[in-house]
Structure 1
Amino acid sequence: MIAFCAIEFLDLQTLDLFSGKGQHSCQLVPKNLLIAVLTELLNWTIEDLERLSKLKKLEVLDLGFNRFVNKSNTAPSIPTKVLFSNKSDTSTVPFLGELKSLKTLILTDNRLAGSLSDFAKVLTNLSNLEFLDLSWNNLDDFSDLRNMSNLKILNVSGNNFLGRIPPSILSLSSLEDLSLRYTNIKDSISMLTNSSNLEVLDLSDNYLDGFFPFHDLRNLSMLKILDLSGNNFSGRIPPSILSLNSLEALSLRRANIKEDSISGFCELTKLQELDLSGNKFEGILPPCLNNLTSLRMVDFSDNQLSGNIPLSLTSNLTSLEYISLSRNQFDQSTLSSMSLASHKNQLKVLGLSNCNLNTSTSDLLNFLHNQYDLRLVDLSHNNLHGKFPTWLFENNSLLHDLNLANNSINGDILFPSSPMVSLTLIDISNNQIHGKLPTNIGNIFPSSPVTLNFSKNSLEGEIPESLAMSSHLSALILSNNRLDGQISPKLFNISLLTLRLNGNQFTGIIPNLTPSKLSHPLTLDLSQNLISGGIPTWIGNFTELRTLVLRNNSFDGPIPLEFCNLVSIEFLDLSQNYLSGPIPSCLNLTFLQYMHFQVNNLTGLMPKALLRSPNLKTLDLKHNNLSGSIPSWLALLSNLRIILLKGNHLSGSIPHEFCQLNKILILDLSHNAFIGPIPPCFNITFGKNGTVEPAFADQVQMSYGIGTYRYPSHFHGGTYGSDQSSLDQYQEQEKVDFVTKSRSDSYRGDILNNMTGMDLSCNEFTGDIPPELGALIAIRVLNLSHNQLTGSIPKILSDLKQIESMDLSHNKLSGQIPSELIGINTLAVFIVAYNNLSGRVPDMKAQFSTFNVSSYEGNPFLCGPPLQQQCNTSKDPVISVTLRQAGLAEKFGIDPISFLSSFAATYVVSLLGFVIVLYVNPNWRGLWFNFIDACLSFIFPFCSK
């Protein structure tokens, strides 16, 4: 139980117990307390809340982000009345209602539900209340707000209004600031015209569209801030919005607007902030924007604007501090048409990513040479070329974020000698920068945590010692360069959240060390290097680690038992090393989703510890030395999408429980020693119904750095984020290799959601091909080759209308190739070679016209194009007998080739034996010749005459 106290200060006027830090033992309550901030506290009880009623002078009470509990109930969610009534009987006087001096009450995110009727008396008694925050609960009835005549600020965002704004809100005559964000409003908002004092209105992220009447909004003559972002205006701007001449800030971000011009906004001459990003505005930026002389922030990013940027946008708007034009279709001469020559025009944020600049860094210098207050610069994806722009740091000592990724900048990296006290992000990835990392690189970040992304360049040499000792690094990404030498162990003892050194030429071993308590990485990637020795056991001490990638090195020895401590790991890749021994049975990877242990020397059985990973989606253990059978308990991992066990020593039959994995997309059991029939129950898997939810994304997002620069704004809680917020995230695509169309391909990212395949090749499966496989209508790859399968090819396989590769070769299949398979238009590879098939090859139509002899060879009784053996349709008795025998052989399960071969051998042996007997015994030879002579005389008597 939390006891409120003033820590023996009777005159305390402010008490802040944020995040549970106020769990004190004293019981003294400060009588003069004016402000109480009691947020994110733990184990709240009703007794704790009752103490608040003694604070008669309290004016500000913040109870946001708490989980209230009843005396007899420790559940985190309780009825609303528990918070507002000190008895279970709601007719009693609510104890919060006794705080009659209260002017500000904040109850955001407390899981309150239902209507406000449970504490009507609270709101009636709080007649002095001016600020009420009930946001992010689950309230749906606000009928008891009508008596709050002094209320000026009301935030009810994140509740559920079931389509309509409650009338009681619209009747609050003193209301100046109203936030209705994300409240499921669908109906007309014309009643808002009654709120004549309204200055701030947030209707973002609702279901408003261009058909609802906005025409009365022109009566809101006091309105200064209007946020309509995240709605759907069906392509058009409601005209009444353009008549609100008092507007100072307007956001229509992501509102599905498609207009040929933005010139209509030029009439709003008092605008200071204009956000039209994420729409479909076309045409050029009109010169009339010059009229908006008060404009300090403009965001036109993510539209379809073209042409040049008018000179007036940067030269005449002297108040402009924030400009983002990223991801439009401007001409290559855009930069030359802009001018920032005047000292009066000092930008803080410049966003020109993906603007087709195609210019040199020297032209960039001419454009920005008078800028000395830049905080965020995003010039990524522009084909900039020339030397690294060191002058950006020298001219702008307060630079916070710099993004030059995906350009063609070359030369060495040069940083100024003086420290960059505000710098938190430098991204120069995917350029042509070469040379060594500056030796002073770790000394220019003296205070702020910084993210450095230098990946995909041509940097060489070792990591400077200053960088390995920098205590202010938040993320270091040096992937895909030519760096070499040994990795300094000091690099693992600083407070990095992300360390990515993959794709370099680092050598040697990683020594043992005791990680610092400050070291708590979320991502560690050392893959694709030349590192040898054992995997360091101290990695197991990083209990907050979410991503660990060590693939494609020369690590040897066992998987450390300390890995059993990686309780937070989600992505684990130890593939393509020389690891040996069993997979540790102590693994307790509850959050693990992707396990890649392929191409090692791991031995033993499949560990039952996998059962402790219920979220597992990918299990890749191929090309190891695992033995034993597939355990039936594997079916309990119901989230599995990909199982790759190829190239082990697994044996036995496939358990029928395996078919319970009804989310499987890719299954590879090839190159093992499995026996028995193929389970017919496989027809329930491989996305048959197309209802399995997506499990793979283009990017597996993991936070790796610090937040980017926040510009002060009227929107988004008082700050406005940069358009490069994705830079503070680790991006790793899930990737698997799978044989399709007779070659090994890599599938990555969200493509895996649509890739389905089953490879059972190179085993010892027997019996028929289950006709139930014809129900796998979403499968794209089916490989049953190199087994002992018999019987005919099921005609129902023609239902696999999405299949691209079907390989049934090297089995003992007999009968004809079903002509129905011609109807599969997606088939690119079809192989039935080396079986006992007979009859005519399907007609050379559609996809079958692309298959050559190699698809059918090794079947001597197949005929017709593309084979050289022609199909004979004559009535020759010998052919008829042969065909009839082949038909009978097929009917009774006899192999016609084996039958004819054995018959011919028996005939030859018998004949030779008879000749030898006659040759050895002259008496028998004489009797045989006499018998032949007598037969001839009887048949042809004329011969004796």
Structure 2
Amino acid sequence: MNLNGNYLEGSSSKFSQAFTNLSNLEVLHLEDNLLNSFLTFHDWKSSSKLKVLYLGYNNFSRGIPPSIFTLNSLQALSVAGSYLNGPISYGLCELKNLRDLDLSKNKFEGILPPCFNNLTSLKMVNLRGNQVYIPSLISNLKSLESIALSGNQFDGGLPFTSPLKSLSSQLKFLDMSNCNLNMSTTDLLKFLHNQYDLRYLDMSHNNLHGSFPNWLVENNTRLETLVLRNNSLSGNIQLGLVVTLLNYFDISNNHIQGNLQTDIGVVLSKLRYLNLSKNSIEGTLPTSLANMKYLYYLDLSKNSIEGTLPTSLSNLKELYTLDFSNNRFFGEIPESWFLNLKYLTSLKLSYNSLSGRISPSLFNLPYLLVLRLSNNQFIGNLGRIPSNILIFDISQNQMTGRIPSDIGKSDSLRTLILRNNSFHGPIPLELCNLSSLNFLDLSNNHLSGIIPSCLNLTSLKYLHLQENKFSGSIPKAILQSSNLITLDLKHNNLSGNISKWFGFLRNLRVLLLKGNRLSGSIPLQLCQLKNISLLDLSHNNLSGSIPPCFGNINFGKIVPGEDVFEKNAYEQSGYSIFEYTDLLDITNMANLYVDLEYSEEEEVEFMTKSRSGAYKGDILNFLSGIDLSCNQFTGLIPNDIGALTMIMALNLSNNQFTGSIPRTFSKLKHLESMDLSRNKLTGKIPSELTDINTLSVFNVSYNNLSGEVPYMKAQFSTFDENSYKGNPFLCGPPLQKPCKTITKSTTTVTLARWSASYGMDLISLFASFAASYIMTLAGFVIVLYINPYWRHIWFNFIDTCLSFMFPFWSEAIYKRIHRWLWKMISTRHPQSLVGKQYMLLLSRISNFWRWDFLGFLNKLEKLSNLASIPSQRESINALVFGDMHYK
């Protein structure tokens, strides 16, 4: 009974009544449904004859129930892709007649139960996509033929202790791809030492290193599929002289060197698939390749093979796909290829040095779907294009003439790339008939005239018309192409305003209008481009202000699941679509391969970090930027720009912006390039900008900025004076002009810098120090004031120190003090009372300070006696201002 893929949902117990009467049921398929639980024991007890049970790709999550382990007649069990986890149940060991067990694409972990050694009838075990280790006990499974472990991460080592070395059976199928193995080919030899009947071996996407294991092919003469791609194998390929049965051979993306052996076509004469791409193979192609008469697929791309293209390859009449791109071939494409390779579906010869004219016979190939001849030296006019072609790429050549009008007959065309040639004339209107066109690139030619308004193709996603001579306005009809992702019209002669119709391009991610003659202001409708990530309006005549609503655009904010820029799907996966299976019809392989190529690798050019660069592939999902430079924009820079937190490049240079730099720019935490040069900005550069740790280019030169430049910390320590030149009122490092006046605000900024540098709050430190000093001094003065004893000792100590260390200086001080006191008293009292008042004042001072003026007071007695006799004034002066020896 086969109920696969019928969207059956809910609990599988709903089918119990139906199974009750199916006592003779032997095969049951319930795969690819929406079931969420297993049948109970009661449901299974009437199915004792059941031999095949497929329950995979449902939503089971509670483990395999014990009821299934009672099906003693069961020979094949699959629960693949059913969200099961935890250890593998020991109950499986009860299924003594089990031959095929598929537990793949779950989350099982731990060690395979040792009791599996008792399943002597087991032939196939599929544990792909789990995290399971295999014990050496499986060496007793004499019937075991197939082991699949791909996707299990084994942390560099083998998942078992060499059970295959002592395995009593001969494996026919072994898949250990993508298992994170790190082993040499010497270890591989020990591992597969006793295996000589392998038919399928896949150890791709690991880290196998050492010389290519030629012995592997020699020992296993029945080997049909050998997949070792994406490892680190080196050396030459020398397969001996024995003709093998190998029909699928893939060692791409390794380090294979040297020339191909001359008789490789004889040794591998049964081959149907050969992929030696992404290695370091040199020399010329051996003529023996012509003996591979069954070959469907031949890929030698990305090597260093040279010479002319051999005409003998025209004998490969079954060939569907031929890829010799990224090598050193030269000369013309042999005409015999187009006469004999009638089944050729994909031909790739890009990135060589091929020359001459493209033969019209090439376009007579009836099944040709993919043609890539880019980056060569082909010349001449472009003839008609095959009506059944899907991908046509002749970019980077020397083609001339007009684009043929009958191109409109290729109604299956999905990708058309003619860039970097010398085509001239207008775009033919017949191009608008390509209803399936997804990718159109006519850039870097000499095309002229107006852009046809009929190019509003609903399927069009990527449109590149840059670097031509198109004139007129941007057609409104194109702006109704709702699926458009990239619109690149830069460096043409387009004029007029930016239409409000741009707001209808809701899926637009890249808009490049640089280097035209567009005028007017930015329409508010541009803010409706919620998915835009790259916007370049530079080098036009635009004016007005930046709409504040720019802050509402999701520049660089990727919505999960909406990555629209990819590497070519075939290149990105690392896997060939020719996966091994007995049920695969190899005649459909070429069509399947072409399907993977529909996702073209997008490439755009954008100015970041003060230089223009080409960005391609999935990096465009993460790149974001705005370039409005070299226009006539005025007004303030909106603070709302600071809301574009994921933006990486911002260029507003060469405009007439005024006001200050918004402090909100400090929120642009992913910004790598900021250019605000050649405007009329004033005020200080916000110090908060130093918090942008990703900034590598900063330019505010030729403005009217003032004050001190931001402190040279983090990224700002890498910017030199060129970032600030042309601002005469800026000062401080790295400029040569120092900041002379230190204002309160400047001091505060300086202290803040010190705090950041030394990890402490210096303002608080200075405040606490001053407070402590004042309190200590005040306490000392208070003690001296209220305690005469200590006051007397303190001043005696000071006077003694001064007299001892500086006797002349101390005496001079006393003379100066007494002169000042005498002068003050003599101006306020009669002459008869001067001496008395003077002695009284000094007595009060002495009483207060407890200072020992005894020697001087003895002289004051004489002074008081003489003070009342005016005639004795000279004696008083001599006494006061004469020698005073303090004792």
Does the alignment reach a TM-score above 0.5? Answer: yes
Verify: 1:401 aligned to 2:269, yes or no.
no
* Counterpart position of 2:49: 174
Task: Give the letter for the 2:197 counterpart.
Answer: S
**Counterpart selection for 1:391 from 244, 263, 269:** 263
Residue 618 of structure 1 aligns with which residue? 486
Out of 61, 83, 89, the residue aligned to residue 207 of structure 1 is 83
Go from structure 1 to structure 2 and tell me whether the alpha carbon gap of 1:418 and 1:718 turns closer, same or farther (over 3 Å shift). Answer: closer
Distance (whole Å) between structure 1 residues aligned to residue 309 and residue 16 of structure 2: 65
Give me the whole-angstrom Cα distance separating, in 2, the residues matched to 1:155 and 1:429.
Answer: 43
Provide closer, same or farther for how the CA distance between residues 813 and 415 of structure 1 changes in structure 2, counting only shifts above 3 A: same
Secondary structure of 2:477's aligned partner: helix
Question: Which of 345, 363, 366 lines up with 1:492 in the alignment?
Answer: 363
Equivalences for residues 346-495 of structure 1 within 5 A: 346-361=222-237, 364-366=238-240, 369-416=241-288, 420-442=292-314, 444-446=315-317, 448-469=318-339, 470-494=341-365, 495=367
Cα displacement (A) at 1:794 = 1.1
Distance, in Å, in 1 between the alignment partners of 2:695 and 2:195 is: 61
Q: Pairwise mapping of residues 327-338 of structure 1 onto structure 2 (< 5 A)?
A: 327-333=205-211, 335=213, 338=215
* Alignment match of 1:266 (pick from 139, 149, 152): 139
Q: Contact conserved, 1:231 with 1:256, CA < 8 A, in 2?
A: no
Q: Partner of 1:162 in structure 2?
A: 36
Deviation per CA, 1:455-501, whole angstroms, max 9, x where unpaired?
A: 11100000000112321111111110110000012212211111111
- Structure 1 counterpart of 2:204, which letter? S
Residues 409, 717 of structure 1: CA spacing in aligned structure 2 closer, same or farther, 3 A cutoff? Answer: closer
Partner of 1:501: 373
Aligned to 1:5: none
Q: Which residue of 2 aligns with 1:888?
A: none
Question: 1:330 offset after TM fit, Å?
Answer: 2.8
Instruction: Note if contact 2:112-2:135 (Cα within 8 Å) is conserved in structure 1.
Output: no
CA gap of 1:837–1:270, structure 2 versus 1, over 3 A, is same
Aligned length: 729
What SS does the aligned partner of 2:641 have?
helix
SS in 2 for 1:473: coil
Matching residue's letter, 1:335: P
The alignment status of 1:277 with 2:162, answered yes or no, reads no
Q: 1:263 to 1:608 in 2, by over 3 A?
A: farther
Residues 2-22 of structure 1: CA distance to partner in whole angstroms, max 9, x if unpaired?
xxxxxxxxxxxxxxxxxxxxx
Aligned-residue RMSD, C-alpha? 3.0
Match of 2:781 in 1: none
Q: Give 2:487's aligned amino acid.
A: L
Aligned to 1:794: 662
Are 1:533 and 2:401 counterparts?
A: yes
Deviations 1:298-328, CA, capped at 9 Å, x for gaps = 1112223313245476664333111122232
Structure with higher Rg: it is 2
CA deviations over 1:182-203 (Å, ceiling 9, x no partner): 1111112133213222211121
Distance 2:289 2:678 in 1: 70
CA displacement at 1:400 relative to structure 2: 0.5
Post-superposition offset of 1:278: 1.9
Indicate conservation of the 8 Å contact 2:290/2:316, yes or no: no
Q: Which moved more, 1:646-655 or 1:160-169?
A: 160-169
1:653-710 CA deviation, whole Å, 9 max, x = no partner? 1111111111111111111111111010011113475536442444243799x99656
CA contact (8 A) 1:300 1:326 kept: yes
The 10-residue stretch of structure 1 (650-659 or 302-311) with the greater mean CA deviation from structure 2: 302-311
Distance 1:144 1:808, change over 3 A: farther
Structure 2 distance, partners of 1:807, 1:845, is 19
| Structure-2 change in CA distance of 1:753 and 1:267 (3 Å) | farther
**More helix per residue:** 2
Structure 2 vs 1, CA of residues 416 and 720 (structure 1 numbering), >3 Å: closer, same or farther?
closer
- Residue 768 of structure 1 aligns with which residue? 636
Give the whole-Å Cα distance in 2 for the aligned partners of 1:237 and 1:670: 64
- Aligned residue in 2 for 1:301: 177
Partner of 1:785: 653
Say which is worse superposed, 478-487 or 789-798, in terms of deviation: 789-798
**Rounded Cα–Cα distance in structure 2 between residues aligned with 1:792 and 1:692:** 37
Matched-pair contact (CA < 8 Å) for 2:285–2:310: yes
SS in structure 2 opposite 1:699? Answer: coil
Match of 1:26 in 2: none
866 and 286 in structure 1: CA distance in 2 versus 1, 3 angstrom threshold = same
1:79-228 to 2 correspondences below 5 Å: 109=5, 141-146=14-19, 147-162=21-36, 164=38, 170-171=44-45, 172-190=47-65, 191-211=67-87, 214-228=89-103
Q: 1:607 to 1:498 in 2, by over 3 A?
A: same
1:246 to 99, 107, 121: 121
Change (3 A) 1:463 1:597: same
Distance 1:712 1:793, change over 3 A: closer
Post-superposition CA distance 1:764-798 (Å, at most 9, x none): 11110001111111111111111111111111111
1:594 corresponds to 2:462: yes
Match of 1:816 among 665, 674, 684: 684
Q: Are the counterparts in 2 of residues 696 and 749 from structure 1 also a CA contact under 8 Å?
A: no
Measure the CA separation in 1 of the matches of 2:424 and 2:300.
35
User: Structure 1 residues 427 and 625, CA, compared in 2 at 3 Å: closer, same or farther?
Assistant: same
Match of 1:857 among 710, 725, 730: 725
> TM-score, normalized by length of structure 1?
0.72
Residues 630 and 654 in structure 2, CA contact (< 8 A), matched pair in contact too: yes
For 2:426 and 2:189, the matched residues in 1 are separated by: 65
Letter in 2 for 1:474: T
1:847 pairs with one of 715, 727, 733: 715
How far does residue 210 in structure 1 lie from its aligned partner after superposition?
A: 2.1
Whole-angstrom CA distance in 1 between matches of 2:586 and 2:75: 19
Q: In the aligned structure 2, how far is the partner of 1:544 from the partner of 1:266?
A: 55
Distance 1:345 1:316 in 2: 14
In structure 2, distance between residues paired with 1:384 and 1:417? 18
Residues 293 and 318 in structure 1, CA contact (< 8 A), matched pair in contact too? no
Which AA in structure 2 matches 1:223? L
**Corresponding residue for residue 200 of structure 2:** 322
User: Is the 8 Å Cα contact of residues 315 and 341 (structure 1) preserved in structure 2?
Assistant: no
After the TM superposition, which residues 541-940 of structure 1 pair with which residues of structure 2 at under 5 Å, given as runs?
Answer: 541-687=409-555, 690-691=558-559, 693-701=561-569, 711-713=580-582, 729-730=596-597, 732-873=600-741
* Shift, 1:166, TM fit: 6.9
Quick check: 2:556–2:623 contact (8 Å CA) kept in 1? no
Work out the CA distance in 1 between the residues paired with 2:120 and 2:684: 80
Instruction: Pick closer, same or farther for the CA change 1:449–1:458 going to 2, 3 Å.
Output: closer
SS at match of 1:484: strand
